[in-house]
Amino acid sequence: MIAKSIEKAEEFSCDAVIFPELALTGYPPEDLLLKPSFIDKNLEYIEKIKLLSENIVVICGFIGRENEIYNAAALMHDKKIVSVYNKQHLPNYSVFDEERYFQKGNRNKVFRIRDILVGVNICEDIYYCEGPAKIQAVYGGAQLIINISASPYHAGKIFEREKMLHTRATDCRACIVYVNLVGGQDELVFDGSSLIIDANGGILARCKPFEEDILVFDLDLEEIQSIRLKDSRYKSQRLELSRENIEIPEIIQVPLNNSISLNKARYSNKKIAGKSESISYEDLISCEEEEILDALILGTRDYLHKNGFNKAVIGLSGGVDSALTAVIASMALGSENVTGILMPSPFSSQSSIDDSVALVKNIKINSMKIPISEIYGSYLEILKGIFKSGEINLTKENIQARIRGNVLMALSNEFGWLVLSTGNKSETSVGYCTLYGDMAGGLSPIKDIYKTKVYALCDFINKKYNKIIPKNILTKVPSAELKPDQKDQDFLPPYDLLDKIIEAYIEEDMDFNYMVNNLGYPGETVKKVMHLIDISEYKRRQGSPGIKITNRAFGKDRRYPITNKFAE
């Protein structure tokens, strides 16, 4: 892919082509970084890419090695690695563990390409207001800052990031080319959303989010000098930075091969090629639901395709979670590659079956009906001696859920379909789900979507795609249908309250007193929800991966011991 992109850039007579952070290895490589053979292979490939740089400057993220390893960017030209920049700020919070692997760089390099001064830095580096970007611009005179990133998505992140880049560009009085990874890896989705910002903070061009893109832009940096001349801060640079012991950037000359086009063109600040036709983000993405849906589709598609699966199978309960999951799957993989399985038990309502059939028809996926009553009967028969009573209790509910898990996994084994589990964040938080039952599956697309947001996404889908989700699915009272007349709300508080408490507790680390006294949530309910979240860690530990959408997802983003007595 990198080689093809270089070729394409050359077709457009580009002077330089830029690839994201760790483009060579994927992000995060995790403990593969501890394998010498992995580092070796990465170095072998950067040498191959180097050979493609005869007529163009190539900047590409890779793992640098000098005794220790670095999260690095190679600047290559004329079949040489001209210089390597090592990332200085290593994130070690949330989903990030970079201090587990990398050493910190400490050199603020600036590259002189003909008469343009360019500062290169990596992801987290640009988040620091007095970090490498500013040092490169203010001390090194860089007019252009190139930041290569592997910045994972969460709802609202694209906007937050643009605000930060706007501030950095005006702060540095430099143009910023921000190049972010696109695609899914396990629980993370990288939204791309690469863009070019001028020295006044205005957006010159952007790539479409959640899609691979090659944006070709003809960048005019001349005006930057005139902007700077008017800016008093650039008269006495040293006043600008309060940090002491600033390392003045080394200026590295990039000796250009004659074939490069820098001297051939006049620059025009004009987009030459690329997918996005619009500059305003709001023109691309109408609302948060659209953004989230795009993230879920990309995350689901990449998880399957990158792991060798084309087809998915989903248990359809007639409820809203499995409906949304099926819609996402059909959009990610194509309807023809999705099979919905109806598995009615003695407690399934006819309307659940009818609603599922209607959904299957609307979204044009395949389906099968595999009733589980007889299998359930055979468990009851064999286990009758051990049951304490004839009542339908949790044991018997779970047996049904696990029969369905077994049936879906049998289809997976027989046909090579990946099972998508359908649990949402509300259930996953409070453990309202059955381990090895409805939790069974290779991926859990909506694991980080609250139940209230599940409905909002369905409403958005129905507005945009002509009511493909049957109305009854959205209006009926939620039920697991594992015993007669069961309702989610018999066990759980109403979802709108539940979701608020979960969000406060998990994403905001709020305590009981704050939730009750400042947010006004009912104490008994808060207490119950906190307790359910605390005791369900063991289930989540064995859950399938899900796509991170919120500010704090389960998984690497929230690491809790199972064994700990702490409770407020």
The residues in 313-352 that bind a copy of itself, with binding defined as CB under 8 A, are none
509 binds a copy of itself (CB under 8 A): yes
Q: Find residue 144's DSSP bridge partners.
A: 118, 175
Q: Find residue 505's DSSP bridge partners.
A: none
Q: Three-state SS for 558?
A: strand
Please tell me the distance from the alpha carbon of residue 94 to that of residue 90, in angstroms, as a whole number.
12
Identity of the residue, 306 or 464, whose beta carbon is nearer to a copy of itself in the bound complex: 306
Amino acid (1-letter code) at residue 401: A
Question: What is the nearest approach in angstroms of a copy of itself to the Cβ of residue 259?
Answer: 33
Q: Peptide bond before 493: cis, by omega within 30 degrees of 0?
A: no
Identity of the residue, 111 or 303, whose beta carbon is nearer to a copy of itself in the bound complex: 303
Binding segment toward a copy of itself, per CB under 8 A, in 68-76, 117-125, 161-169, 408-416: 408-416
Q: Residue 558: what are its φ and ψ, rounded to 5°?
A: -145, 105
Question: What is the nearest approach in angstroms of a copy of itself to the Cβ of residue 422?
Answer: 16
Residue owning tokens 């990031």: 161
Binding segment toward a copy of itself, per CB under 8 A, in 75-83, 179-187, 326-334, 347-355: 179-187
10 Å CB burial of residue 273 (0-12, 13-18, 19+) is middle
Catalytic, 54? Answer no
Catalytic, 47? Answer no
Identity of the residue, 4 or 559, whose beta carbon is nearer to a copy of itself in the bound complex: 559
Identity of the residue, 38 or 127, whose beta carbon is nearer to a copy of itself in the bound complex: 38
Residues in contact with a copy of itself, shown as a per-residue x/- string from 83 to 102 under the rule CB under 8 A: ---------xx---x-xx--
402 binds a copy of itself (CB under 8 A): yes
Residue owning tokens 């003045």: 248
167 binds a copy of itself (CB under 8 A): no
Catalytic, 458? Answer no
Identity of the residue, 413 or 489, whose beta carbon is nearer to a copy of itself in the bound complex: 413
Binding segment toward a copy of itself, per CB under 8 A, in 35-43, 53-61, 264-272, 281-289: 35-43
Active-site pick, 14, 21, 291, 433? 21
Closest CA to 526 of 550, 554, 564, 497: 497
Q: Residue 456: what are its φ and ψ, rounded to 5°?
A: -60, -40
User: How many residues bind a copy of itself, per CB under 8 A?
Assistant: 78
> 209, 284 in Cβ contact below 8 A?
yes
Active-site pick, 50, 98, 109, 123? 123
Active-site pick, 50, 87, 447, 548? 87
Q: Which residues contact 425 (CB under 8 A, 6 or more apart)?
A: 446, 447, 448, 449, 450, 451, 453, 502, 550, 554
Judged by CB under 8 A, the residue of 3, 7, 11, 34 near a copy of itself is 34
Closest CA to 180 of 213, 202, 204: 213
Could you give the residue numbers annotated as active site?
21, 87, 123
